[in-house]
Structure 1
């Protein structure tokens, strides 16, 4: 528990007046994480193409833009919209667009002619549909071929069909060739060397394929590679564009599994003890609606409460057993780091930004919606 004489970094001024559950963010820690991201790529912002799915918040993206990072990717159109509002110049839709989404993407592009729009593709039928749509609307779209390098979720395996996609893009007057996009989210080894070795394995196979394909060998293209776990590995290759996401806020899951990544926790979930069902247990207002719950417990790493076991979790409530329960009254504020921050943020309408001078500002999580203006 927190006493009056101890005020940890995560406790905001006037905490008792904040309604819970609440998601707190700390701009100075976000700043440290952004600077760390830049440092890892030699302070070259052109080597970063961050994913905005973690924050879904214009104010956080603005802090990256202030450092010269102007290319972002998102899985939804609202994520691209808020990146535009923050000052982004290049927007990549990292989810292969359906016909309906493609039309909305081009509407967004038409309304923002000074920005460049990109999309990933792993399917020839989708590529032909995008070509026909851009030709009909007299618009251009930059295409990145999405490669499956082992995750087997999306993408096309390096081979003749992938080469055919790139060749087809080059022949379409309304489509521009971006390059290759490869997400290796299946690589989550805690050991740095094991992760590096697995990353090198697919990278080596990719390079061998390029070298064995004359057209690709003679016309090298950019590669957007990885997410956060393999960020350090791709950062070591100066010809790659890195695409971290979680690093801007960080979470308990990545902190546990990837201790080599020295990012700061910049997002804290605040709740309260709302009931004491037994002398050894506490009920908190941190139900499924406030924290990502797609994984088994522990779903939270508590900062000011020792927890022995998770006894129950429902929409509004989380019941835990704690040795501190007898001396923890109803109303006690509890602080925790989400195990998975990205979907946790999506559950909240706002982030409460705790400024260094103690001021608290509401930052809307606008891109949690499926549709904004387009």
Structure 2
């Protein structure tokens, strides 16, 4: 029986050795997800996975050993974790401002085995980053951040974006590498709807790209997309792709994006700590233990209690209606599949490892910290 069909793949025979709540990783399934990602693109050099999901050096090293050498991240700590792993190419998909500029410059100095770059979307930040780089005697690689519909950061993909790119190219202290576009607003269940919205985003990217080339500048590198649009960009040869959630997967993406068959590879473990009334149980999985940005019923799915209904959650407790005669007793273990794994991982300092259905060690979630050294 394969891991895809083995219904009890998640069970831990020595779960009594694991305090709860706990985050657990299944390394064999993580390794399989890396293989599946590689098989979904024509050229491995076009992969630039985002590490925000796992924030972990061991998983990063698994990808490096698998031949993936480009990465994307969102924080200085994630950047430094990648530098510690000697990842060859790292894009900080964030525009450094204030003290973060100097931290970024320090990263470049302290981790010479890694080629770092960052984002820009305005002339003020351009001048600040270029001045800091010049003062340090460095040239900083930058990508122009395009707003293709998420309306969070970035410049609209029009003639002003082309002008800003030309300004970057002419500014001492920085080097214009290319274009970055994150389309996190595109997460529809329907692939047809996703494709329609993706085409609008792609049209903007292509317009700016073509105008830059027409202006006589080198062809930009294009880094675009996340997990929901990965299959679309993967089929488009001139784009580096940045999925992140694929590495651990979660219930939200499992339900929404059936065309992407990755394995869920991380769970949260909790225990029944109280029983009150007919069918009502309380487990030790509060706001601090699983991502709570979604409405209450959309935070976690219990593999061994799939019919459980959510009554309430507080910082350290989750109250469930498990149904009459549910059979649960004080101390029983519940295996929770997070709806959103990325912020869930960030709630834990370590993840226990499960191999052959036994706890076999733990990995530190190194980049959950805001600061490692720099």
Runs of 4+ in 1 over 6 A off after TM superposition: none
Query: Is contact 1:305-1:324 (8 Å) kept?
Result: no
> After superposition, where does 1:94-243 map in structure 2 within 5 Å?
94-211=93-210, 215-216=214-215, 219-243=218-242
- Distance in structure 1 (CA, Å) of the matches to 2:46 and 2:213: 27
Query: Is contact 1:211-1:217 (8 Å) kept?
Result: no
SS of the counterpart of 1:272? strand
> After superposition, where does 1:16-95 map in structure 2 within 5 Å?
16-42=16-42, 44-95=43-94
Shift of 1:325: 5.3
Bigger shift: 213-222 or 241-250?
213-222
Shift of 1:198: 1.5
- Distance in structure 2 (CA, Å) of the matches to 1:308 and 1:160: 53
5+ residue gaps, structure 2, are 1-5
What is the Cα-based RMSD across aligned positions, in Å? 1.7
Shift of 1:132: 0.7
Shift of 1:122: 0.5
Query: Is contact 1:140-1:176 (8 Å) kept?
Result: yes
SS of the counterpart of 1:40? coil
Q: Could you state the TM-score of these two structures normalised by the residue count of structure 1?
A: 0.94
5+ residue gaps, structure 1, are 1-5
Alpha-carbon deviations, 1:19-76, whole Å to 9, x = none?
001111111110111111111112x321011111100111111111111112112111
SS of the counterpart of 1:144? strand
Shift of 1:366: 1.2
Query: Is contact 2:296-2:312 (8 Å) kept?
Result: no
Number of aligned residue pairs: give it.
368
> After superposition, where does 1:176-325 map in structure 2 within 5 Å?
176-211=175-210, 215-216=214-215, 219-298=218-297, 299-323=299-323
- Distance in structure 2 (CA, Å) of the matches to 1:319 and 1:357: 27
SS of the counterpart of 1:12? coil
Q: Does 1:349 align with 2:338?
A: no
CA pair 331-56 structure 1, distance change in 2 beyond 3 A: same
Match of 2:363?
363
- Distance in structure 2 (CA, Å) of the matches to 1:273 and 1:201: 48
Shift of 1:97: 0.5
Q: Could you state the TM-score of these two structures normalised by the residue count of structure 2?
A: 0.94
Alpha-carbon deviations, 1:116-167, whole Å to 9, x = none?
1100011110011111110111012110000000111111001222112211
